Amino acid sequence: MSPFKKNQGFTLIEVILYFGLFALIIGIAYPILNEALKNYFVLREEVDLRSEIRNIFLRIQREIFRSKSLDILTDWEIVFVQKNENVVIFLTQPIYLDLSSSRVKGFANNLSVGSISFNGPTYYVSFLASSSCQISSGSSVPAIYAFSGYAWSPNIGWIKFRNTDSGEPVYGVCLDQQNQLRGFAWSDVVGWISFNCQDVNICPTSNYKVIVKDNYLYGYAWNEVIGWLIFDGQAGKVYLAKTNPAVYYLDLISDPRVIFQDLKFTKTGRSFKVNLKVKGPAGTYEEGETAIILPFE
């Protein structure tokens, strides 16, 4: 007989007891751990949002101290006039298809003239279902919607989205079956606005377009006088652009994960104030405010 005691395995009852004890420990520890992780992510997001606000303030301060004057275009668009160029800092606004009213709502941005409104108290751009849509004389595309009506810019006036008047050029803007805007709008001040490089045959060298995704508009339209019209979808991003005098540089200076709820510039005498409200991916909100003494006043 061996002098060593023969090893014995766990009995079924012991295994059940151990698993039960383990499940009890996990049941107690999991809610505590889960709450700790949630608090950690919220705290980290708050830190990230404060850092984002601080970085925007620092960038704005840097441009102010390089400038000889500034011009506030709207609450969310400002131009810093510097020695050899203008620097524009702006917040893009949402622009979308409102299916309940069949109207386009929101703002496109242009670095020369500021924001362009697609819906106001006395004007709007509307859209109607259409299987075929005319974009110019003798040219139609298979479509989902045909647009009509007017957008408005305080600096260049009305932008007309469809014309079928007898004796005048026929033009229009459509949403094609690939969810891309096609065609042309017209401004009496700056002329034609093109929404897709396909319609002017320059896609190999300038592949611009405006697309619709989840009813929001994304991308760029083009005008020879004022340059790019920016459609930034659900928006909430802060950009910096440099012009000399034409636009030659565009930089996203905000964290793409952060949604900007509001950006407001105000000037009173020698002071310049910036207010920000931001939202993080987890839904945390932060607000910030700074005031700067203008060196050129």
The answer as to whether 134 is a domain residue is yes
Cα–Cα dist 166/134, whole Å: 15
Segment 90-141, tens digit of pLDDT: 999 999 999 999 999 999 999 888 899 999 999 999 999 999 999 998 899 9
Name the one residue in this structure whose structure tokens are 């007309």.
160
- Could you give the percent of the chain with pLDDT greater than 70? 92
Instruction: Say if CB 143 and CB 135 are below 8 A apart.
Output: no
* pLDDT winner (highest mean) among 7-21, 26-40, 47-61: 47-61
37 pLDDT higher than 70 = no
Whether 4 is covered by a domain: the verdict is no
Query: Are residues 241 and 253 in contact, defined by beta-carbon separation less than 8 angstroms?
Result: no
Number of Cβ atoms within 10 Å of the Cβ of 181: 24
Amino acid 33: pLDDT: 65
When pLDDT is averaged across residues 34-53 and rounded to a whole number, the result is: 74
Same domain, 155 and 37: no
Q: Show which of 180, 200, 234 is a domain's final residue.
A: 234
Is 165 found in the same domain as 75? no
Residues of the chain by 3-state class (helix, strand, coil), percent to 5: 20, 50, 30
25-29, 44-48, 86-90: the lowest-pLDDT one: 25-29
Position 143: which residue type? A
Q: What is the mean pLDDT of the chain?
A: 89
Q: Tell me whether residue 215 is in a domain.
A: yes
Q: Which of 211, 234, 257 is the last residue of a domain?
A: 234
Residue 297 resides in a domain: yes
- Report whether pLDDT(69) > 70: yes
What one-character DSSP code corresponds to residue 10? -
Under a CB-based contact definition with an 8 Å cutoff, are residues 228 and 222 in contact? Answer: yes
Query: Of 213-222, 235-244, 261-270, 281-290, which one has max mean pLDDT?
Result: 213-222
Same domain? For 33 and 108 the reply is no
185 forms beta bridges with: 193
Confidence tier at 6 by pLDDT (50, 70, 90): low
Q: Has this prediction a pTM greater than 0.75? A: yes
Element containing residue 65 per DSSP (H, E): helix 12-65
Domain count across the chain: 2
Are residue 198 and residue 75 in the same domain, yes or no? no
pLDDT of residue 297: 75
Same domain, yes or no: 265 and 208: no
- For residue 55, what are the domain limits? 14-92+236-297
Task: Find out whether 238 and 258 touch, Cβ atoms under 8 Å.
Answer: no
**Judgement on whether residues 22 and 80 belong to the same structural domain of the protein:** yes
Decide if 227 is inside a domain.
yes
- The answer as to whether 229 is a domain residue is yes
Write the pLDDT tens digit of every residue in 217-264.
999 999 999 999 999 998 889 999 988 877 778 899 998 889 999 999
Are residues 88 and 105 located together in one domain of the fold? Answer: no
Distance CA 52, CA 164 (A): 48
Same structural domain for residues 171 and 268?
no
Q: Report whether 109 contacts 88 (CB < 8 A).
A: no
Candidate from 81-90, 167-176, 237-246 with smallest mean pLDDT? 237-246
At 44, the pLDDT band (50, 70, 90 cuts) reads: confident
3-state secondary structure of 200: helix
32 with 68, same domain: the answer is yes
Specify whether 106 is located in the same domain as 116. yes
Same domain, 102 and 170: yes
Q: Do 242 and 163 lie in a common domain? A: no
SS3 290: strand
Last residue of a domain, one of 200, 234, 268: 234
Q: Are 140 and 147 in contact (CB under 8 A)?
A: no
Q: Which two tokens stand for residue 8?
A: 């014995």
Average pLDDT over residues 200-224: 96
* pLDDT level of residue 40 (50, 70, 90 thresholds): low
Tokens of 118: 């697609």
Residue 21 has a pLDDT of: 77
- Give, in order, the Cα–Cα distances in Å from 129 to each of 64, 126, 146, 172: 48, 11, 6, 14
Bridge partners of residue 192, in order along the sequence: 186
